[in-house]
Structure 1
């Protein structure tokens, strides 16, 4: 799932859905990619399948995602971010971006 050319959005979404249904706070491990993941999930699944997803977006977090990448590359990066944060146990609100700047990731739809 982490290779750029092999990322299937539906497979990625299925995995993300499972992780979020296990624990909604897992969204934080996606870091700056969370709102991309959320949009993908909302596009693939009806609201009753992931009831906690709402319409909240934080443009300051979205702006921290790299630009000029394909969807497959962004999903690969989101998967790598999740894997790194889950491995390190960094599922917290205050995160560090690629430039070394700290930001807050909070989504009221997911419980804060």
Structure 2
């Protein structure tokens, strides 16, 4: 079984599943991620890395479908966080950078000022 995901005519994902369970996991992982993103957007906490809520909600949804899928997703999320750790100030920092950019600051100065005000935790 082959799963291809296209976006605007470009292949975004191209995977071959070894069995139906794997294919269903991939499909529902994508669906629950989208649902979790919608949930986070409606319930956003500005001082919290959005992935905290997204991952929690996605895991809750996957658990309702299949405990093994939830465990697989938690493993994927853990790997993501190893490479891209939680940063609760990322959203605030991005908004602040945008304001500084509009005021004409250089990118070098923007980074210094923004990280001083909203440090990476």
Considering only CA atoms, is the larger Rg found in Structure 1 or Structure 2? 2
Between Structure 1 and Structure 2, the one with more strand by share is 2
Between Structure 1 and Structure 2, the one with more helix by share is 2
> Whose RCO is larger (CA < 8 A, sep 6+)?
1
TM-score, reference length from structure 2: 0.24
TM-score, reference length from structure 1: 0.26
